[in-house]
Amino acid sequence: MTLNDLAQELGLEVRAGGSALETEVRGGYASDLLSDVIAHGQPGDLWVTLQRHQNIVAVASLKRLAGIVLVNGREPEADTLQKAGAEGVPLFVSALPTFELVGRLHDLGLSGIRT
Amino acid sequence: MSPLAVVREGREKGLHVIAVCDHNSAENVAATRRAAENTGLAVIGGIEISSREEVHVLGLFRDGPALESAQQIVLENLVGENEPQTFGEQLVMNERDEVVGHNSRLLIGATELSLEDVVGTIHRLGGVAIAAHVDRPSFSVISQLGFIPSGVGFDGAEVCSEERPTLPEGLAVVRSSDAHRPGEIGSRHTLFLVERPTASEIGMALHRMEGRRVLT
Chain A residues touching B147 at Cβ < 8 A: 34, 55, 58
Residue B196 contacts by C-beta under 8 Å, 6 or more apart in sequence? none
Distance CA B57, CA B70 (A): 12
Q: How many helices (H) and strands (E) does chain A have?
A: 5, 5
Q: Do B149 and A37 touch (CB under 8 A)?
A: no
Using only C-alpha atoms, what is the Rg of chain A? 12
Helix, strand, coil percentages, rounded to 5, for chain B: 30, 20, 50
The residue among B147, B148, B150 with the most chain A CBs within 10 A of its CB, best to mutate, is B147
pLDDT tens, residue by residue, B107-129 = 999 999 999 999 999 999 999 99
pLDDT band at B187 (very low <50, low <70, confident <90, very high): very high
**Does B164 score more than 90 pLDDT?**
no
Q: Are A101 and A86 in contact (CB under 8 A)?
A: no
User: Phi first, then psi: what are they for B183, rounded to 5°?
Assistant: -60, -25
pLDDT per position as a tens digit, B52-98: 999 999 999 999 999 999 999 999 999 899 989 888 999 999 999 99
Q: Do A15 and A75 meet the contact criterion of CB atoms below 8 Å apart?
A: yes
Across chain A, mean pLDDT equals: 96
Domains and CATH numbers, chain A: 3-107 (3.40.1390.20)
pLDDT (0 to 100) of residue B85? 87
Give domain limits for chain B: 3-214
Q: Which tens digit of pLDDT belongs to each residue from B122-157?
A: 999 999 999 999 999 889 999 999 999 989 999 999
* DSSP label of A54: T
What architecture is domain B3-214?
Alpha-Beta Barrel (3.20)
Q: What is the ipTM of this complex?
A: 0.83
Residue B133 gets the label, from left (phi > 0), alpha (psi -120 to 50) or beta, of left
For chain A, residues with pLDDT lower than 50 are none
Q: In this complex, which of B114, B115, B146 lies closest to A35 when CB atoms are compared?
A: B146
CA separation for the pair B59, B29 (Å, rounded): 13
The Cα–Cα gap between A67 and A44 comes to 8
Closest to A31 in 3D by CA, of A69, A57, A78: A69
